[in-house]
Amino acid sequence: EQETAFINNCLNSDRSLMLIATLDGKHIGNCSFNPVGNYKRYRHRCEVAIALYQEFCGYGIGKIMLETVLKAAKESGFEQAELEVISDNQNAIALYEKLGFQKYGTFPDNMKYADEHYASADWMMKKL
């Protein structure tokens, strides 16, 4: 239900976008932006998310998707893009930094996995 609502929101909004990456008809990743909130005081901020299957990392697909989403977010009137990344995902962090994102905080034990281990997350932001 949450995924359906998210997709419908993207389809019905001029301030949201979701890109889907496919290869030979197979979904290999996606990238999106959405407003942080509905209040006027948050109107300048968007949240960016990206997911790419591990086997397709390192080919520039994620970079192209992020550059496309960031450009569209700026054209939609956003001034600031924000994201959350698992703190030990050094490849993703390196890409985000290359695209101009800067870390501004860490949330310890942000996620708890099925095997009971925890992962911290870094918050990153970029002015558009």
Kindly report the CATH class assigned to 2-127: alpha beta
pLDDT digits (tens, 9 = 90+) for 30-73: 999 999 988 999 999 999 999 999 999 999 999 999 999 999 99
Handedness of CA 57, 63, 65, 69 (dihedral sign): positive
pTM of the model: 0.86
pLDDT value of position 14: 73
Q: E strands within 6-117? A: 17-23, 26-35, 45-52, 80-86, 102-112
Is residue 120 within a helix (H) or strand (E), and if so which, with residue range?
A: strand 118-127
Q: Is the alpha carbon torsion for 39, 86, 18, 114 positive or negative?
A: negative
pLDDT recorded at residue 10? 62
Sequence ranges of the domains in the chain: 2-127
